[in-house]
Amino acid sequence: MTARLIDGKALAAEIRQQVAADVQAIKAMNRPVRLAAVIVGSSPAARVYADNQARTFAQAGVDYQLHELPEDITQAQLDAILANLAKDASVTGIMVHLPLPAQLNTQQTQYNIDILKDVEGVNPANIGNVLYGHPIIAPCTALAAVALIDTTGIALQGAEVTVVGASRIAGRPAALLLTERGATVTVCHIHTRDLAAHTRRAEILVVAVGKPGLITRHHVQPGAVVIDIGINRITATDTHGKAISKTVGDVDFAAVAEIASWITPVPGGVGPVTVAMLLKNTVRAARLVHGLDQPF
Ligand code: NAP
């Protein structure tokens, strides 16, 4: 391996330390920092996720309120709950766990998350403000990708960047933030005709698709910085030939690390920094709600 590893865990630890200090500073003013997390339905997986999240927020000093709503809740009922959380002065952040059951409209739900309390940056208005170059709160994964690139010290201004994946929550917001930083950005998606032609041009390659092994050595320019947002569970075999389940990204890590200059591992790259950015956004939301920061 010739590439240097971009250490997401170390960056996340740094951000979390700053967040804990910021939370204490707000609380010292006798003002709350409280996140309301909404889960619809009660699958064991969602419950485990919520428990982990509660621990993460507690470690940062953030009060965490879990609202577990019944699987058959109507859109009107959910919207009313979000409206109450928006009005509740003791709640400074709101997030809604996905996926939602089929009777609920995800986009409508996200529209109804108060813009200033929207810690995941998923309200379309918040994504729109990223487009205008004045983010109030930006999506966490996109923020994480940019922060990880910044740790390399490589200048984004004028850099040739390719983003593979154009989802509204990862690829597109990342492309917008990178454009705002002065990079020349190409966005690839399922209809891109010659993916390798675009990825090989990139000095910085950001991948957010959800397909293990999509990016091979053949897709990467030697010396490129590679940020792998993808998270995939695959079955592999260990050294004894036993089947094991493991987490990998979208990039063929071993082969690409031979030619890249910097690369994020999966796990331990974008994932922990995304969580840290969620905490950072939670502080930002609390400061906005308390009038300590202005939206623009
Ligand atoms: P998504 O909504 O499914 O979007 C995937 C995007 O990839 C779409 O824009 C799709 O194009 C595009 N795509 C699919 N096949 C492609 C191909 N062969 N070539 C080029 N583009 C292709 O997924 P997402 O929510 O953005 O998540 C993407 C991955 O990131 C997943 O593995 C997810 O688990 C991971 N993720 C990680 C974090 C983290 O914290 N590390 C956070 C969020 C997501 P079309 O739109 O044209 O179909």
pLDDT in single tens digits along all 296 residues of the chain: 699 999 999 999 999 999 999 999 999 999 999 999 999 997 777 778 888 889 999 999 999 999 999 999 999 999 999 999 999 999 999 999 999 999 999 999 999 999 999 999 999 999 999 999 899 999 999 999 999 999 999 999 999 999 999 999 999 999 999 999 999 999 999 999 999 999 999 999 999 999 999 999 999 999 999 999 999 999 989 889 999 999 999 999 999 999 999 999 999 999 999 999 999 999 999 999 999 999 98
Which tokens in the block code for residue 39? 């889960």
Alpha helix segments (H runs only) across the chain: 8-28, 44-59, 75-87, 106-111, 124-131, 140-151, 171-180, 195-199, 253-256, 270-289
As annotated, the residues of the chain forming the CATH 3.40.50.10860 domain(s) are: 16-117
Residue 36 C-alpha to ligand 1 middle, in angstroms? 27
Identify the residue whose C-alpha is closest to ligand 1 atom 47. Answer: 190
Q: What CA–CA distance (Å, rounded) separates 265 from 258?
A: 13
Q: Where in the chain is CATH 3.40.50.720?
A: 138-272
Interstrand relation of 4-5 and 262-263 (parallel, antiparallel or unpaired): parallel
Domain 16-117: which CATH number of 3.60.20.10, 2.60.120.260, 3.40.50.10860, 1.20.1260.10: 3.40.50.10860
Contact 110, 139 (CB under 8 A): no
Ligand 1 atom closest to the Cα of residue 210 is 32
Homologous superfamily, domain 138-272: NAD(P)-binding Rossmann-like Domain (3.40.50.720)
Q: What is the pTM of this model?
A: 0.96
* CB 274 less than 6 A from any atom of ligand 1: yes
Q: Is the bond into 44 cis (omega within 30 degrees of 0)? A: no
